[in-house]
Amino acid sequence: MLRCWTNALTTRRAAIGLRHSSSDSSSHFHNVAVLGGGITGLSTAYFLTQALPTAKVTIYEASDRIGGWLDSVRVPVKDGTVIFERGPRTLRPNGNGVLAAKLLQELDLAKDGLYPQLSSPAACNRFLYYPDHIVRMPHPSFKFADNLWSMITEPVFKTVMFGGITEFWKPPRGDHIEDESIAGFFSRRVSKEMVDRIMSGVIHGIYAGDVNQLSAKSLFPTQWRDELEAGSVIAGLAKSRAEGMEVTKREASFIQEMKSYQWDPLLKATLAMSTVWTLKDGLGQLVDRLARHLVKNGNVEFKTSTSVQSIALPQGSDRIQVQAQGSSQIKEYTHAISALSPAQLSAAHKGSTPLIPHIPTVTVMTVNLYYRTPGLHPDGFGYLIPQATPFENNPERALGVVFDTAYSPGSEDIDQSSWNVVDRDELIRQRDQGRLINVNDFAWYNMPEDPIRQDLVGKRGSKLTVMLGGHWWSEWPAFPDQEQGLALAKSVLRRHLGITEEPEAWQVNLQRDCIPQYTVGHEKRLKTAHSNISREYQGKLRVAGNWMSGVGVNDCLRSAWDVVSSLKVNRPGTGLEHVGNEEYVRIRRARPEEAAKE
Ligand SMILES: C=Cc1c2[nH]c(c1C)Cc1[nH]c(c(CCC(=O)O)c1C)Cc1[nH]c(c(C)c1CCC(=O)O)Cc1[nH]c(c(C)c1C=C)C2
């Protein structure tokens, strides 16, 4: 969808008078090259146009489509169409998610949003597959007795209660330890069984990575600090409950800045009670709208199908040079912001030593499947497969399965007979007062118009995504092809969920090197990257993306926001200047209901 659209860019660009020629930096203080047209690059350009409205921005994207792995496709099925997501499918509204919410509001997308509620099965029912069956994770909304029974009887929870309670008395690590794997840290603090059976599954669902290699210091910074400063993770947790959460000063001022933003009260109320959100045409709609918005801005130029061959800051010059692959022309910019991967950026920097130390990545295969029969999976978000699940129960090396049906409404959800409030006038009155419209498991922002859906079919079947690979496939000599990928996914679903039906529609996507791995020593590597970039580029090159402070879409938006904020005030930096250098303060966080009222 996006590819077709970007092909039309050239025509549109001509129509609205965007220039292709070399930039005249003298008339603009800021003439910025944004390297990479994924969500990080696009949001960087967007925030730049807001922070520095006269800046000229050029986006370089190697591919003929923009958006990176945020990629939604509408596929035909027998009685309509359904959305398949190749990459991320939902976003959380909390934390860095506030920036995506800002985009929702400013790009007029809120009315196209789907908002599963905190009370919905998608929020409450999360599962693990261990050792040979699906187990529902305990949740505060379930009966205490049910949670307790599951904790006592399910092998997946063996040692969790005892390990958790005794964590308080376990001695803290020696302060000479600079970093440790997640497995090492939590095995010491809680138990090895908990790591192998639970934590490794959760880590699969976020990083598709190996708990034995990923860094506790980088990925669990609060717990890492609490162990030394409060004596245990539990003591740290208790202290933050009593005295407020410890956050970096940078974070505290970001929260303050976001609080003072003029929020649409209805959107705020809706998001405060939502677990995640997505859009009616999938998350690809966000990049599509962002790109369309940028195209309309006369100061933004897109260079698609244009990969960056080299970047350089010649001695004595205050202009950074960018040369595109296959072009003899060198373009000059006041600044460049790289949204490329560390490997791509290091390749473009033609120095004798790598600009950024090697940061490993993993490749994930996502297989989307749509079945005619409804209810083929349990009601809930999906399940994760931990490393301890015996090989014979997961020879395909799947990481988990997402139940896509759960987070977007089907025809039964828009059927008014199942709503808790059916008086339309009352709903409109509530909406006009900026109140949340919550009639079942979903909130409807777009009332009084008809509720919206992703899947436009008469009666919806079952939609799932099987996630395969990640660190498991790092040692494999070759990745499976489409046919093999489909066979692997079907085999997982047959064994785990008993699905034998043939899918009505499917799609196999190999996302190469999509998730950077923050392995032990990651912080040190980022510090090296910071000193190399600042030495070689004197503040003219800055970096953003999923390899520095979180791998999610929300984290990409945040790194884009941070890099633009520092450029706006002309603070020297690289985008990595804060790494290992933070000061902390305690703040009290509002609960969701309070936040909605605030
Ligand atoms: C599509 C593959 C991805 C895997 N991890 C990520 C992606 C994009 C990044 C990611 N996933 C989650 C988070 C936590 C924060 C959040 O936004 O919720 C991050 C940073 C959680 C998550 N995991 C899965 C889903 C559907 C979500 C919600 C966000 C999203 O849509 O990605 C399922 C899942 N993701 C991956 C695997 C292996 C997996 C398995 C069921 C890898």
Q: What spacing in Å lies between the alpha carbon of 532 and ligand 1's midpoint?
A: 32
Dihedral Cα 269, 273, 274, 280, nearest 10 deg: -40
Cis peptide before 93 (omega within 30 of 0): no
pLDDT digits (tens, 9 = 90+) for 307-329: 999 999 999 999 999 999 999 99
**DSSP H helical segments within 349-481, as ranges?**
411-414, 424-432
> Domain ranges in the chain?
2-68+285-358+519-585, 72-121+270-278+362-516, 159-253
The pLDDT of residue 592 is above 60? no
DSSP 3-state of 419: coil
What mean pLDDT is predicted for residues 164-183? 96
* Residue nearest ligand 1's atom 18 by CA: 92
What mean pLDDT is predicted for residues 52-65? 96
Fill in the DSSP letter of residue 569: T
**Which of 24-38, 313-327, 558-572 shows the lowest mean pLDDT across its residues?**
24-38
Pocket of ligand 1, candidates 286, 394, 402: which has the most ligand atoms within 8 Å of its Cβ, to mutate? 402
At 439, the pLDDT band (50, 70, 90 cuts) reads confident
* For the chain, percent of residues with pLDDT exceeding 70: 94
Could you tell me the fold of the domain covering 72-121+270-278+362-516? Answer: Polyamine Oxidase; Chain A, domain 2 (3.90.660)
Q: Which of 125, 92, 72 is nearest to 368 (CA)?
A: 72
Query: How many other C-beta atoms lie within 10 A of the C-beta of residue 453?
Result: 20
pLDDT digits (tens, 9 = 90+) for 255-283: 999 999 999 999 999 999 999 999 999 99
Q: What is the pLDDT of residue 2?
A: 41
Structure tokens given for 123 = 């929020």
Q: What are phi and psi of 102, to 5 degrees?
A: -65, -40
Q: What spacing in Å lies between the alpha carbon of 553 and ligand 1's midpoint?
A: 10
Q: What is the pLDDT of residue 589?
A: 67
The pLDDT of residue 19 is above 50? no
Contact 504, 76 (CB under 8 A): no
Strands 80-85 and 72-77, sheet pairing: antiparallel
Q: How far is CA 575 from the centre of its chain?
A: 19
ipTM: 0.96
Q: Which of 108, 46, 92 is nearest to 446 (CA)?
A: 108
With b meaning 16 or more CB within 10 Å and e meaning fewer, what string describes 477-508? Answer: eeebeeeebbebbbebbebbbebeeebbbbbb
Q: What are phi and psi of 594, to 5 degrees?
A: -70, -40
The pLDDT of residue 157 is above 70? yes
pLDDT digits (tens, 9 = 90+) for 356-398: 999 999 999 999 999 999 999 999 999 999 999 999 999 999 9
Strands 126-129 and 382-384, sheet pairing: parallel
Ligand 1 atom closest to 204 (CA): 38
pLDDT digits (tens, 9 = 90+) for 230-250: 999 999 999 999 999 999 999
At 144, the pLDDT band (50, 70, 90 cuts) reads very high
CATH 3.30.1300.10 describes domain 159-253: no
* Residue nearest ligand 1's atom 25 by CA: 205
Q: How far is CA 234 from the centre of its chain?
A: 28
Q: Which of 25, 20, 19 is nearest to 335 (CA)?
A: 25
Q: What spacing in Å lies between the alpha carbon of 513 and ligand 1's midpoint?
A: 15
Strands 505-516 and 308-312, sheet pairing: unpaired
pLDDT digits (tens, 9 = 90+) for 64-119: 999 998 999 999 999 999 999 999 999 999 999 999 999 999 999 999 999 999 99
- CA 558 to CA 531: how far, in whole Å? 21
Query: Given this chain, do its domains 2-68+285-358+519-585 and 72-121+270-278+362-516 carry the same CATH topology?
Result: no
The pLDDT of residue 29 is above 90? no
pLDDT digits (tens, 9 = 90+) for 507-541: 999 999 999 999 999 999 999 999 999 999 999 99
Ligand 1 atom closest to 278 (CA): 31
CATH 3.50.50.60 describes domain 2-68+285-358+519-585: yes
Structure tokens given for 273 = 């009670």
Cis peptide before 448 (omega within 30 of 0): yes
Fill in the DSSP letter of residue 521: T
* Residue nearest ligand 1's atom 10 by CA: 206
Contact 70, 286 (CB under 8 A): yes
- CA 453 to CA 439: how far, in whole Å? 15
pTM, rounded to two decimals: 0.93
